Structure 1
Amino acid sequence: MDILNVNAGIYFDDAVTSAEKHTHQAYASTSLNNNDEIRIPIQQQDLYTLPNESSLYIEGKLLKTDNTPSRTAKFVNNGVMLLFDEIRYEIGGYVIDRIRNPGLTSIIKGYVSFNKNAAQFLQNSGWFLNNNEQSNIVDDNGNFNVVIGLSTIFGFCEDYRKIILNMRQELVLIRSNSDTNAIINSTENESVKVVLNKILWKMPHISVSDVERLKLVGYVARNVELEAAFRGWELHEYPLLQETQRHTWNIKTATQLEKPRFVIVGFHTDRKNKSNRNFSHFDHCNLINMKLYLNSEMFPYDNLNINFENNQIATLYDMYAKFQRSYYEKENEPIFTPSEFKKFTPLVVIDCSHQNESLKSGSVEIRLEFETNKDISPNTSCYALIIHDRLVKYNPLTSSVRIL
């Protein structure tokens, strides 16, 4: 027994001698306006970096069109990320992870992943989750600044917790053509704008002891191909649902490797490009049942039998609350109570991580069928966040990358 091992030696972990965050900037000629492409490179190839702990520092102003501060406009939850249409993480010139509509993707993923212990820390990233109000990161002069961990944006940075050896890296951000979805304003007919002053990539540079360095140099010298496995996040949108009660959505056809492990579905009714509607909240649309089909396999097996009018949402909340145990293998600590879930974030979380693995060839057709007890309201969109396995291999000697 360990309690009897009184003569055990003392172990000091000195493998990592330093882990300092270095700031990387975009190219000097890059502008940060709407529709602009912003590239932040890490050109050195003799570095050990840790993307899992890297972050974005974003600084700017929220102003009226006459350049004076607005007293009523605020960012919605995670509103700063809604300023971008796409974010890509590249290694050796290859796109390792790409997130389209990163604001809404990270909102959906965050609502099911975060717990109350993290809520206070996340305020520094522009999230205000305890009171479900829009964030007040903007001061009286319109200034704001946030630090957003890349682990809340990319599945690669969340899952792959090892260093990257000797590879050129680049972060690419594309500003959206409009900032309306990022902001909620209680004053009608007041036009506001977001001016970005700085976007910096803060990446930990890792230094190791001589013993560990010899091991890492040995991997490079032996021309070893290193594997990076992670779960990718892929958001799909059905922009305008028909005003009926039954719907079928053929989302995509996937390979066996990229077949879904989780699918999270949410609805927006008349929220897109509406400054008086909170884009970070979702609508239940009187949903009563939903099924996910992977070829002939069906998830969940039973009907949901939910009814929002009669507050019959226990099954739906149970699916939402158990995501953390299945995805992170930890205790369930949902950020929202059942009443908050019903009011702000009625998401449908479908766990399809346990599947028949006997057939390894062929494609997988992903289809969603759902039913409401009333016709879908006009201007209703449906979003499906698909979380699936991905595998990347890179060679630090030749700088080659293979995406499987």
Structure 2
Amino acid sequence: MSAALRDSLDVNQKPAFDESITKRQYHSYQPYSNVALGNNDEIRIAINQQDLYTFPAESYLYMQGTINKPATVTEEVLFVNNGAMFLFDEIRYELNSIEIDKIRNPGTTTTIKGYISIPHGSVHRYQNAGWDSDGNKTGTFELCIPLSHIFGFAEDHRKLIINARQDLILHRAASDVNALKTAKDGCTVTLNKLLWRVPHVHVSDAVRLKLLKTLDSRRSLSIGFRSWECFEYPHLPRTTKVSWAVKTSSHTEKPRYVVIAFQTKRKNNITADMSKFDHCSITSLKVFLNSDTYPYDPLSIDFSTDKYSVLYDMYAAFQESYYSGDRSENSPLLSKALFKSEAPIFLFDVKLAQEAVKTTTSDLRLEIESSINIPESTSAFCLVLHDKMFEYNPLSGQVNKLL
């Protein structure tokens, strides 16, 4: 007998209502300076009041801005897909002045992560965050960007943050050229408003008493998540074989997934779309993690004859593996045809390799092969999703990194 059928027999069961949360309201936090939002500025937004229960996992950035073009530019100016993230060169989140999570090159990092993570059924919701393959054709824009689109911390750590100071720091990029696409240079982006909107949670007396006992116990609370770290090889050599030593890290920083993408003549080029990637006639790519090799069998890819089914299958299987059924719909964002034309991504699941790695360090290396010489001005990006672990003490304010 199924559990649902068995429950249907209990006619005396009374409905239960969860009243542990009595109220949840969004509060807006502004930067220290509302005028220092231009290129090269550091934008710091702080939550100084510590006697709060906040839920940063469901917070978001509210952004208003204007796309400016000089009179000499008569062509249409597009805000590229995920263009708001290309306005910054670094974003980080701090807890009690200790860095918890940080992404460099947030435009490319969150674009790659978005292509592999956003379910197809949620594409309309993410349009509100600037995820629009057709681009924003108007002179103004208004966006709500979930913090879970920016940090692995916000995506994975779905717990209240209690009795702690929080800071969100954004560094504006020196140029807006990567956020825009048009026929001529000279266009810029002006940020008119930037707010961090964070849910404040009010709980029932029973839950409040439980949380106060946690504070009195002086017990540290854990923060575990998967961080997104993006590495760049700015100019690949014009050969058919390239070896790239990506990073050497401590064994505690366990890589879970390795994602590789390529771009040719797109960076700092306003006539090209920085949110798209190129296949560069890659025929094979191997990931070496110490003594382990991924994939075991060599990839035999030929984009010229549309032989990339194995590559697409690795891409399409990511959401089910990464989110473990937490999402109602684990369907890839891109069709097979769009995968080739917009984001031919090489995605490797390496999380099971860690059981066999006994050394104190992990060496990550890539071997890339192409059917022709890699085109001039081609960059490679390697996004590594790896574990991070912190603990913080709500009473003393101390924050320690464990992983």
Name the residue aligned to 1:297.
Answer: 292
My pick for the range that moved more, 352-361 or 18-27, is: 352-361
Name the residue aligned to 1:391.
Answer: 389
**1:46-104 CA-partner distances (Å, limit 9, x unpaired):** 000001100001111101146x9965001111001100000000000000000101111
Q: Does 1:37 align with 2:32?
A: no
Q: Does 1:313 align with 2:308?
A: yes
Q: Does 1:342 align with 2:340?
A: yes
Task: Quote the Cα distance in structure 1 between the aligned partners of 2:24 and 2:74.
Answer: 40
Quote how far apart the aligned CAs of 1:27 are. Answer: 0.5
Task: Quote the Cα distance in structure 1 between the aligned partners of 2:61 and 2:249.
Answer: 31
Which runs of structure 2 are paired with 1:139-288 in the superposition (5 Å)? Answer: 139=138, 142-185=139-182, 187=183, 189-288=184-283
Quote how far apart the aligned CAs of 1:335 are. Answer: 1.1
Tell me, yes or no, if the aligned pair for 1:62 and 1:70 is still in contact at 8 Å: no
Other structure's SS at 1:151 match: helix
Q: What code does the residue aligned with 2:118 have?
A: F
Other structure's SS at 1:354 match: helix
Task: Quote the Cα distance in structure 1 between the aligned partners of 2:230 and 2:7.
Answer: 48
Q: Among 356, 365, 368, which residue is 1:367 paired with?
A: 365
Other structure's SS at 1:213 match: helix
Q: Among 97, 100, 112, which residue is 2:101 paired with?
A: 97
Name the residue aligned to 1:55.
Answer: 60
Tell me, yes or no, if the aligned pair for 1:84 and 1:173 is still in contact at 8 Å: yes
Q: What code does the residue aligned with 2:131 have?
A: W
Q: Does 1:121 align with 2:90?
A: no
My pick for the range that moved more, 28-37 or 250-259, is: 28-37
Tell me, yes or no, if the aligned pair for 2:115 and 2:333 is still in contact at 8 Å: yes
Q: Does 1:108 align with 2:112?
A: yes
Quote how far apart the aligned CAs of 1:364 are. Answer: 0.6
My pick for the range that moved more, 299-308 or 357-366, is: 357-366
Task: Quote the Cα distance in structure 2 between the aligned partners of 1:70 and 1:177.
Answer: 24
Task: Quote the Cα distance in structure 2 between the aligned partners of 1:30 and 1:168.
Answer: 24
Task: Quote the Cα distance in structure 1 between the aligned partners of 2:34 and 2:58.
Answer: 27
Q: What code does the residue aligned with 2:205 have?
A: D
My pick for the range that moved more, 71-80 or 372-381, is: 71-80
TM-score, structure 1 normalization: 0.95
Other structure's SS at 1:327 match: helix
Task: Quote the Cα distance in structure 2 between the aligned partners of 1:231 and 1:357.
Answer: 18
**1:3-49 CA-partner distances (Å, limit 9, x unpaired):** 21111122110000111000000003650110000000000000000
Q: What code does the residue aligned with 1:352 have?
A: V
Task: Quote the Cα distance in structure 2 between the aligned partners of 1:12 and 1:41.
Answer: 35
Runs of 4+ in 1 over 4 A off after TM superposition: 68-71, 358-361
Q: What code does the residue aligned with 2:18 have?
A: D
**1:245-265 CA-partner distances (Å, limit 9, x unpaired):** 011100111111213110110
Task: Quote the Cα distance in structure 2 between the aligned partners of 1:27 and 1:60.
Answer: 18
**1:343-365 CA-partner distances (Å, limit 9, x unpaired):** 11000001111124255551011
Q: Among 78, 81, 90, which residue is 1:77 paired with?
A: 81
Q: What code does the residue aligned with 2:146 have?
A: G
My pick for the range that moved more, 327-336 or 381-390, is: 327-336
Other structure's SS at 1:125 match: coil
Q: What code does the residue aligned with 1:262 have?
A: Y
Other structure's SS at 1:156 match: helix
Q: What code does the residue aligned with 1:150 have?
A: L
**1:122-148 CA-partner distances (Å, limit 9, x unpaired):** 1111112xxx42x22x53xx2111010
Quick one: structure 1 residues 227 and 123, their matched pair in 2 at CA, closer, same or farther if it must change by over 3 Å? same
Quick one: structure 1 residues 387 and 375, their matched pair in 2 at CA, closer, same or farther if it must change by over 3 Å? same
Tell me, yes or no, if the aligned pair for 2:290 and 2:357 is still in contact at 8 Å: no
Q: What code does the residue aligned with 1:32 have?
A: L
Q: What code does the residue aligned with 1:59 have?
A: Q
Quote how far apart the aligned CAs of 1:169 are. Answer: 0.2
Quote how far apart the aligned CAs of 1:379 are. Answer: 0.2
TM-score, structure 2 normalization: 0.95
Q: Does 1:379 align with 2:374?
A: no
Task: Quote the Cα distance in structure 2 between the aligned partners of 1:108 and 1:161.
Answer: 23
Other structure's SS at 1:203 match: strand
Task: Quote the Cα distance in structure 2 between the aligned partners of 1:393 and 1:305.
Answer: 44
Task: Quote the Cα distance in structure 1 between the aligned partners of 2:310 and 2:356.
Answer: 30
Task: Quote the Cα distance in structure 1 between the aligned partners of 2:302 and 2:113.
Answer: 24
Task: Quote the Cα distance in structure 1 between the aligned partners of 2:121 and 2:73.
Answer: 33
CA RMSD of aligned residues (A): 1.4
**1:285-320 CA-partner distances (Å, limit 9, x unpaired):** 101111111111111111110100111010100000
Task: Quote the Cα distance in structure 1 between the aligned partners of 2:217 and 2:122.
Answer: 42
